[in-house]
Amino acid sequence: MYTNFFYTLRREGIPVSITEWLTLMEALSVGLADSSLSGFYYLARAILVKSESHFDQYDLAFQKYFQGIETPAQLLDQVSKWMENPLPPKMFSEEERNELLKKLGLPDWESLKAALEERLRTQDGAHHGGGNWIGTGGTSAFGHSGFHPGGVRIGGESYGQSAVKVASERNYRDYRSDETLGVRQFEVALRKLRQFSTRLDGLKDQLDLDDTIDETCKNAGRLKLVWTRPRKNSVKVIVLMDVGGSMTPYANICSQLFSAVHKSSHFKDLKFYYFHNCIYDLLYLDASNNPRKAVKTEDILSSLSSDYRVVIIGDAAMAPSELMMSDGNIYWGLGNEEPGITWLQRIAKKFPYNVWLNPLPEKYWDRVHGYQTLKIVRDIFPMFELTLEGLDWAIKKLMVRK
Amino acid sequence: MTEQLSYQGTEDYIVSNDLQNSVNISVALKRPLLIKGEPGTGKTVLAESIARSLGLRLIIWNIKSTTKAQDGLYVYDTVQRLYDSQFGEQNVSNIKQYIKLGKLGEAFESTERVVLLIDEIDKADLEFPNDLLWELDVMNFYIPETGETITTNHRPIVIITSNAEKELPDAFLRRCVFHYIDFPDQKMMEEIVHVHFPDLEKQLLAEALKAFYWLRSISGLQKKPSTSELLDWVQALTIGGIEPSKIAQEIPFLGALLKKNQDFDLTLRQLHTRGTDNSSRAKRGW
C-alpha cells in the first residue's frame, strides 16, 4: 500500500528508511490515521520525516503523490544535485569552438527550452563531460564549465561566455541533508582532534583510582582517597578560511565545515578568521572581508602560542603575482609591503601544527587554473582535499609536529 | 493489550491539533516522541501537560553536556561500598544497596506507567543518543554487578526535546516519532496568553501582540522573543499599568523581550524611524 509514496518521498530527497515505513504501516493498521487524508498527512509526517528542513519536500511529495501537481522548483533542485562535484572548467580553443559551432549550430530559445524540459524529464543522474545530458565540462547545451554555442548555463561560473540564460540560481545554496557529506560526519571527524591533559585548571573532583590504591596501601589498608582533575581536551585551533571569488562554488561544503567546527565544543579555544585568495597583513573577522573588522596578522603571530593548530581552507589557486609580489593583493588600494608567500611562511613557521584543506579534488591540483601557486603553497603547508577522508588525514597530521 | 490513552491537552497548556495527534501517535506506537522547535515554544512544558492530562507521574531527566547514557541507567557507588567496608557497620556483601538507579532506571522500575522527559538531549555528547538506543527499544537493561535485569512492565511514554544544537544520529531518529512545534500564530497566541492571564483586557492584549509580532518581524534579530518572554512582558505591562494605546508605539519594558545588546540597539533604531514616520517622538519608559 502506498509503496509509490515511499519512493516519491525518497526521490524528493527525504531519507525515509524501511524501518520507518514499516512503522507507518503498523500505525495505519491500528487505525491511527482516522481514515482521513489529513490524518494520514500528519501521521506519515510524524513517523517518516525527522527534520523540519524536510517538511517542505514532504509537502511537495505529498501533493505530487496525491494530486499529481507539477513542481518545477523541485526539478531545479534535482538538477542542482546533478551539478554537484563538477568537473573543473574545460577550456576550448578557438578551433574547437568553431568546429563545435559548425557541428551544433545555434538553436533558438524555444526549442532549447523544450529540449531542457525533455532532459529534466528523462535524465536520471549526474552526467559530466558529455555532449547531451545536463552536466559540467562538456559540450551539452545544458550545464556549466563547458562549451556549447547556444547553451543554457545551469549554475557554476561563467567561463565560456556562451550561456544564453542562467536557469538556476539555487545551485550551491542547497541545504538538503541528503548529501553524502553532512555536518555530522565532519563533526565526528573533528572529534579526533583532541589531546587530553589533566594539567589544566579546574576542580579536583575525580577519584584517582591508581593513586587511591597506592595511598591506601601505604596507609596500611585504611582507605585514603586521592582526587584529581578531570581530563580535558587541550587542543586549540585557528581556522583561516578563504572566501569569495574562486571559492564561491565551494560555499556549500565550506559552510558545512564551518558549522561543524563551531558545533565542536571540545576545543579549548577556537579562533576563526577569513582572507581572500591569500593572507597578507590583515585577517578578517567576518566573511565580508571588511578592513574595518580585521586584525593584524602580525598580532596573531605574536600573541598566540605556537601550540595552536592551524587549519587553512582555500583553493590556493590565484594569480602568481598575488602570492609572489608585494602589492599583489587582489583588493586595489590595500597594498601589502611583503608578498603573500612571506606571510604564509611566517604562519607555517610560527605554528608547526598546520594543514591546508583544499576543496578542489586532488586529481586536478596539477592542472587547474592557478596550479602554479597551488604547488608553491603545497610546499609550505601539507595539503589535503576537503573531503571526509582528506579531513581525517589532515587531523592525523595536525596531531604530530611535521 | 493496554488501554488506549488519549491526550487532549490541559487547561493551562494550549496544544495544536497536530501536536496532539503526534503525542497520541507516539503513545499508540510506543515510540519516543522527539520534539523540536524554537526556544520558548513550550517543549518542556508539554511533558508536564501530558503527565497531568493522563494522570501519570512525570520523571524528568535533564541532560547536561557532561551527562553520560550510563548515568540514566544506574550508578554503582563503589567508593561508598569501600568506605562502608572499613568504617561502616552494615554488611557490604549486598552490592544491591550500592546500585543507584538513574532517571531512566527509575522510569523502568516504576510499578505504574510514567511519563519520562529526556530534556534537551542535544546538550549531551554526540554519541549519547546512540548509547541509549537499545535501552529505549527494548525498555530493559542489565546490571552486571548484581546480575539483575531492570525491565519495565508499563512502557513509559518517552518525550525527548531537542534545541537542534547538534545533529542527532540517524539510527536514533529512525526510532522516534518527530514533531516540530511551530511558532504559534496570533490567534493561538491570544489563547495562550489568555490561559495565563484570564483577566487581561482585550485591548491591552491586542496591542501587546501587535507590538510582539512586529518585533519578531524585524530581520536580523539574534534572538527573537518567544512565548515565555511575551508572558513575562505582559505581566510587566499589567503591573506597570501601561496605557494600551502606548504599547505598540513605545514598547515599554523592552528588556523583558530582548536579551541581547545588539538586538536592543537594532530595535531602538527601527522604533525610532517608525516613530519619526508617525511624527511623534515619544518618550520611552524602560
Give the C-alpha distances (Å, rounded to integers) separating A185 from A182, A256, A259, B54.
Answer: 5, 10, 12, 40
Asked whether the beta carbons of B54 and B83 are under 8 A apart, the reply is no
Place of cell 497536530: B18
User: B33 and B157 share a domain?
Assistant: yes
Does residue B286 fall inside a structural domain?
A: no
With a cut of 50, say whether residue A179 has pLDDT above it. Answer: no
Nearest by CB to B178, from A49, A184, A265: name it. A49
Cross-chain residue pair A42–B22, CB shorter than 8 Å: yes
Q: Hey, of A42, A59, A216, which one would you mutate to test binding to chain B, going by the most B CBs within 10 A of its CB?
A: A42
Q: What is the pLDDT of residues A345-399, one digit of tens each?
A: 899 888 888 999 888 888 888 877 778 888 888 888 999 888 777 888 888 888 7
Does residue B29 fall inside a structural domain?
A: yes
| Res B285: pLDDT | 42
Does residue B3 fall inside a structural domain?
A: no
Within 155-214 of A, beta carbons closer than 8 Å to B belong to: 182-184, 187-188, 191, 207
What 3-state DSSP class applies to B210?
A: helix
With a cut of 50, say whether residue B100 has pLDDT above it. Answer: yes
Which fold is adopted by the domain A183-193+234-399?
A: Rossmann fold (3.40.50)
Q: How many domains does chain B have?
A: 2
Nearest by CB to B21, from A42, A49, A191: name it. A42
User: B40 and B110 share a domain?
Assistant: yes
| Res A71: pLDDT | 42
| Res B62: pLDDT | 92
User: B138 and B219 share a domain?
Assistant: no
Q: Which of B162, B181, B200 is the last residue of a domain?
A: B181
- Give residue B192's pLDDT band: very low, low, confident or very high (50, 70, 90): confident
For B83-113, letters b (16+ CB in 10 Å) and e give ebeeeeeeeeeebeebbebbbbbbbbebeeb
Please indicate if any CB of chain B lies within 8 Å of the CB of A20: yes
User: B171 and B207 share a domain?
Assistant: no
Q: What is the pLDDT of residues A259-313, one digit of tens each?
A: 777 777 677 888 888 888 888 888 888 777 777 788 888 888 888 888 888 989 8
How far is the C-alpha of A351 from the C-alpha of A282, rounded, in Å? 17
Strand ranges of the sheet holding B57-62, from the earlier edge strand across to the other edge: B57-62, B114-119, B157-162, B33-37, B177-181
When pLDDT is averaged across residues B144-169 and rounded to a whole number, the result is 85
Contacts of B31 in chain A (CB under 8 A): 23
With a pLDDT cut of 70, the percent of chain A lying above it is 65
Give the C-alpha distances (Å, rounded to integers) separating B266 from B140, B214, B252, B260.
Answer: 52, 13, 15, 10
Contacts of B176 in chain A (CB under 8 A): 50
Who has greater pLDDT, A123 or B51?
A: B51
Alpha-carbon dihedral angle through residues B46, B51, B57, B58, given to the nearest 10 degrees:
-10
The span from the first CA to the last CA of chain A, in angstroms, equals: 60
How far is the C-alpha of A326 from the C-alpha of A328, rounded, in Å? 5
Contacts of B41 in chain A (CB under 8 A): none
Q: Which of A98-107, A255-264, B88-97, B236-245 has the lowest mean pLDDT?
A: A98-107
Nearest by CB to B28, from A30, A188, A265: name it. A30
When pLDDT is averaged across residues B58-81 and rounded to a whole number, the result is 88
| Res A169: pLDDT | 28
Cross-chain residue pair B25–A32, CB shorter than 8 Å: yes
- Give residue B117's pLDDT band: very low, low, confident or very high (50, 70, 90): very high
The residue length of chain B stands at 286
Mean pLDDT highest for which of A61-70, A319-328, B249-258? B249-258
- Give residue B40's pLDDT band: very low, low, confident or very high (50, 70, 90): confident
Contacts of A15 in chain B (CB under 8 A): 170
Cross-chain residue pair B175–A30, CB shorter than 8 Å: no
Does residue B157 fall inside a structural domain?
A: yes
* CA nearest to A50 within chain B: B178
User: B29 and B135 share a domain?
Assistant: yes
Cross-chain residue pair A20–B34, CB shorter than 8 Å: no
Asked whether the beta carbons of A46 and B22 are under 8 A apart, the reply is yes
Q: Which of B149, B181, B213 is the last residue of a domain?
A: B181
| Res A90: pLDDT | 53
How far is the C-alpha of A82 from the C-alpha of A326, rounded, in Å? 41
With a pLDDT cut of 90, the percent of chain A lying above it is 0
- Give residue B32's pLDDT band: very low, low, confident or very high (50, 70, 90): very high
User: B190 and B120 share a domain?
Assistant: no
With a cut of 90, say whether residue B60 has pLDDT above it. Answer: yes
Who has greater pLDDT, A11 or A265?
A: A11
SS3 letters for A113-170?
Answer: HHHHHHHHHHCCCCCCCCCCCCEECCCCCEEECCCCCCCEEECCCCCCCCCCCEEECC
Does residue B228 fall inside a structural domain?
A: yes
CATH of the domain at B142: 3.40.50.300
* CA nearest to B178 within chain A: A46
Nearest by CB to A50, from B26, B65, B173: name it. B173
| Res A394: pLDDT | 85
* CA nearest to B82 within chain A: A223
The span from the first CA to the last CA of chain B, in angstroms, equals: 59
Task: Give me the residue spans of the domains in chain A.
Answer: 3-69, 82-168, 183-193+234-399, 200-228
Please indicate if any CB of chain B lies within 8 Å of the CB of A223: yes
Question: A239 - beta bridge partners?
Answer: A272, A311
Please indicate if any CB of chain B lies within 8 Å of the CB of A32: yes
For A205-224, letters b (16+ CB in 10 Å) and e give eeebeeebeeebeeeeeeee
- Give residue B286's pLDDT band: very low, low, confident or very high (50, 70, 90): very low
| Res A79: pLDDT | 53
How far is the C-alpha of A391 from the C-alpha of B138, rounded, in Å? 37
pTM over 0.90: no
Cross-chain residue pair A183–B167, CB shorter than 8 Å: yes
Contacts of A184 in chain B (CB under 8 A): 126, 167, 169
Domain that holds residue B152: 17-181
User: B171 and B210 share a domain?
Assistant: no
| Res B103: pLDDT | 92
User: B241 and B264 share a domain?
Assistant: yes
Does residue B11 fall inside a structural domain?
A: no
Cross-chain residue pair B165–A55, CB shorter than 8 Å: no
Does residue B1 fall inside a structural domain?
A: no
Q: How far is B221 from chain A (nearest CA, A)?
A: 18
Asked whether the beta carbons of A129 and A135 are under 8 A apart, the reply is yes
Cross-chain residue pair A47–B25, CB shorter than 8 Å: yes
Backbone angles phi, psi at A170, to 5 degrees: -95, 5
User: B81 and B22 share a domain?
Assistant: yes
Q: Which three cell numbers stand for residue B227?
A: 512565548
Q: What is the pLDDT of residues A191-221, one digit of tens each?
A: 777 766 655 566 777 888 888 888 888 887 7
Q: What is the pLDDT of residues A114-125, one digit of tens each?
A: 565 666 556 555
Nearest by CB to A46, from B79, B86, B179: name it. B179
User: B161 and B39 share a domain?
Assistant: yes
What is the identity of the amino acid at A106?
L
When pLDDT is averaged across residues A188-193 and rounded to a whole number, the result is 72
Give the relative orientation of helices A55-67 and A37-48 as an angle to the nearest 10 degrees. 140
How far is the C-alpha of B51 from the C-alpha of B116, rounded, in Å? 9
Q: How far is A157 from chain B (nearest CA, A)?
A: 30
Who has greater pLDDT, A112 or B199?
A: B199
Q: Which three cell numbers stand for residue A15?
A: 531519507
Who has greater pLDDT, A40 or A245?
A: A40
Contacts of B174 in chain A (CB under 8 A): 17, 19-20, 50
Place of cell 598566540: A304
Contacts of A47 in chain B (CB under 8 A): 25, 29, 177-178
Q: How far is B126 from chain A (nearest CA, A)?
A: 8
* CA nearest to B164 within chain A: A51
Q: What is the pLDDT of residues B213-223, one digit of tens each?
A: 888 887 767 77
Contacts of A18 in chain B (CB under 8 A): none
Q: Which of A200-204, B4-8, B38-42, B202-206 has the lowest mean pLDDT?
A: A200-204
| Res B61: pLDDT | 94
Give the C-alpha distances (Å, rounded to integers) separating A87 from B71, B90, B271.
Answer: 50, 75, 50
Does residue B227 fall inside a structural domain?
A: yes
- Give residue B196's pLDDT band: very low, low, confident or very high (50, 70, 90): confident
Nearest by CB to A46, from B65, B166, B178: name it. B178
- Give residue B281's pLDDT band: very low, low, confident or very high (50, 70, 90): very low
Contacts of A191 in chain B (CB under 8 A): 126
What beta strand segments (E) does A294-377 contain? 294-296, 309-313, 354-358
User: B43 and B135 share a domain?
Assistant: yes
| Res A43: pLDDT | 86
Cross-chain residue pair A19–B175, CB shorter than 8 Å: yes
Q: What is the pLDDT of residues A141-161, one digit of tens each?
A: 554 544 444 444 444 433 332
Nearest by CB to B28, from A32, A191, A263: name it. A32
| Res A68: pLDDT | 46
Q: How far is B176 from chain A (nearest CA, A)?
A: 7
When pLDDT is averaged across residues A64-75 and rounded to a whole number, the result is 53
Q: What mean pLDDT is reported for chain A?
A: 71
With a cut of 90, say whether residue A65 has pLDDT above it. Answer: no
Q: What mean pLDDT is reported for chain B?
A: 83
| Res A163: pLDDT | 25
Q: Which three cell numbers stand for residue B219?
A: 530581520
Of A28, A12, A115, A108, nearest in space to A64 by CA: A12
How far is the C-alpha of A290 from the C-alpha of A300, rounded, in Å? 18
Of A184, A388, A223, nearest in space to B171 by CA: A184
Asked whether the beta carbons of B150 and B108 are under 8 A apart, the reply is yes
Cβ neighbors of A396 (< 8 A, separation 6 or more) are A192
| Secondary structure (DSSP) of B219-278 | TT-SS---HHHHHHHHHHHHHHT--HHHHHHH-TTGGGT---HHHHHHHHHHHHHHHHHT
What 3-state DSSP class applies to B67?
A: coil
With a cut of 50, say whether residue A72 has pLDDT above it. Answer: no
Contacts of A43 in chain B (CB under 8 A): 21, 25
ipTM: 0.76
Asked whether the beta carbons of B95 and B136 are under 8 A apart, the reply is no
Q: How far is A175 from chain B (nearest CA, A)?
A: 14
Cross-chain residue pair B126–A27, CB shorter than 8 Å: no
| Res A150: pLDDT | 44
